[in-house]
Amino acid sequence: MKECKNIDFDQKLVSKHDLPVYGKHILFTSPRNYAALLGDLLIQRGARPVWMPTIEIWPMPDYGELDRVILSLSDYDWVAFTSENGVEPFCKRFQSLGLDPGAVKNTRLAAFTADSILLEKNGVKVDLVPEEMSPRGIVDELVRSGVNSGRVLVPCPHVSGVKEPYVVPEFIKSLESIGMTADRLEVYSTVALRDNKKIERNMLLNGEIDIIVFTSSAEIFSLLDQIDKAKEVLNQYTIAYMGTFTAKTGTEAGLNVDIVPKKFTMRSLLEAMEAHCRD
């Protein structure tokens, strides 16, 4: 697959020759809080986005448990974030409780690059950012740092309407396999959507899509439920995945894995789609 390097997403005048996804219908299933960025990037590169959200992300109805954990955060050696959706409520409740960022000085934090930036904007120092932007990358970095014990808090979603993706359970098992005690804490909600999106669904069923994009495992499970597990409907298209964990879910579900970006960013995802379309 050819590489697309140094794409200038701010350049306004671009020839069709330099827009390999120009005019292509690209269906993506991201929830609202991720969809805007991906949709905007697709439009900039000349694609015709088709947004068919299959999950929604919402705050928890009550943050009493998170507040109790934050107030006794010194009980934990580490907090390991695997999603910006986990970072945001942590920062907000931290501020609502009137705590100084220095209150976490005895607890170390692990997060991916984008999430670490959000944490540090809120005055919270991040101690570990893995080279590989995945939960497995966090575990590998802990091992390289000589960590083989301790208690770790894992902020995670409450999943409803669809089976829980394996990402968090596998992450916890991996942490425990290196000698750590892992506690999961639900800090946001992932809910499967069952809305009848007639236009988007008909495009999908009628062969009118060029590329399908999944940015999380829950999106895959929910879309398969909506089309009665008919994976052959999806496999007639090129399928792109945001990250290796999501791609693994696609493989296990019997779906094609055509595009996986090298970096865990929306821009890298689009660059990988453009490289694929240049072949």
Task: Render pLDDT for 92-149 as a digit per residue (tens, 0 to 9).
Answer: 888 888 887 666 778 898 988 878 888 888 788 888 888 887 888 899 889 998 888 8
The span from the CA of 203 to the CA of 50, in Å, is 9
Identical topology for domains 16-54+193-278 and 58-191: yes
Taking alpha carbons only, the member of 100, 44, 43, 50 closest to residue 70 is 100
Residue 34's contacts (CB-CB under 8 Å, 6 or more residues apart) are: 215, 266
- Write the CATH number of the domain with boundaries 58-191: 3.40.50.10090
pLDDT, the chain, mean: 87
The span from the CA of 130 to the CA of 206, in Å, is 42
- Write the CATH number of the domain with boundaries 16-54+193-278: 3.40.50.10090
pLDDT-wise least confident of 6-20, 62-76, 172-186, 221-235: 6-20
Domain boundaries in the chain? 16-54+193-278, 58-191
DSSP label at residue 165: P
The span from the CA of 165 to the CA of 215, in Å, is 12
Task: Render pLDDT for 237-258 as a digit per residue (tens, 0 to 9).
Answer: 999 999 888 999 999 999 999 9
